Amino acid sequence: MEKHALLYEGKGKRLYKTSDEQLLIAEFKDDLTAFNAEKRGSEAGKGALNNKISTQLFRILEEKGIATHLVKTLDDTHQLVKVCRIIPIEVVVRNVATGSLVKRLGLNEGAELPFPLVEFYYKDDALGDPLINDEHCLVLGLVKSESDLEELRRLGREINRILKSFFAGRNLTLVDFKVEFGIDKDGTILLADEISPDSCRFWDTATKEKLDKDRFRQGLGDVKVAYEEVLKRILAQ
Binding-site ranges for ligand UDP (CB under 6 A): 90, 92, 99-101, 129, 176-178, 199-201, 213
Question: Smallest gap, in angstroms, from Cβ of residue 58 to ligand UDP?
Answer: 16
Residue (69 or 178) nearer to ligand UDP, CB: 178
Query: Nearest distance from residue 128's CB to ligand UDP, in Å?
Result: 9
Tell me how far, at minimum, the Cβ of 10 lies from ligand UDP, in Å: 11
- Shortest gap between Cβ of 188 and ligand UDP (angstroms)? 23
- In whole angstroms, the minimum distance from the beta carbon of 153 to ligand UDP comes to 16
Question: What φ, ψ does residue 231 adopt, rounded to 5°?
Answer: -60, -45
Q: Which is nearer to ligand UDP, 194 or 228 (CB)?
A: 194
Give the whole-angstrom CA distance, residue 106 versus residue 38.
24
Shortest distance, position 102 Cβ to ligand UDP, whole Å: 8
Q: Which is nearer to ligand UDP, 1 or 107 (CB)?
A: 107
Instruction: Please return the burial class of 109, using the count of CB atoms within 10 Å of its CB with bins 0-12, 13-18 and 19+.
Output: exposed
* 14 or 213: CB nearest ligand UDP: 213
Nearer residue to ligand UDP within complex by CB, 43 or 74? 43
Please calculate the CA angle 212-43-3 and round it to the nearest 5 degrees: 105
Smaller CB distance to ligand UDP: residue 144 or 219?
A: 219
Question: Using CA atoms, how far apart are residues 173 and 47, in angstroms rounded to an integer?
Answer: 23
> Is residue 67 packed enough to be buried (19+ CB in 10 Å), middle (13-18) or exposed (0-12)?
middle
Nearest to 71 by CA among 21, 26, 9, 15: 26
Name the residue with the smallest CB distance to ligand UDP: 99
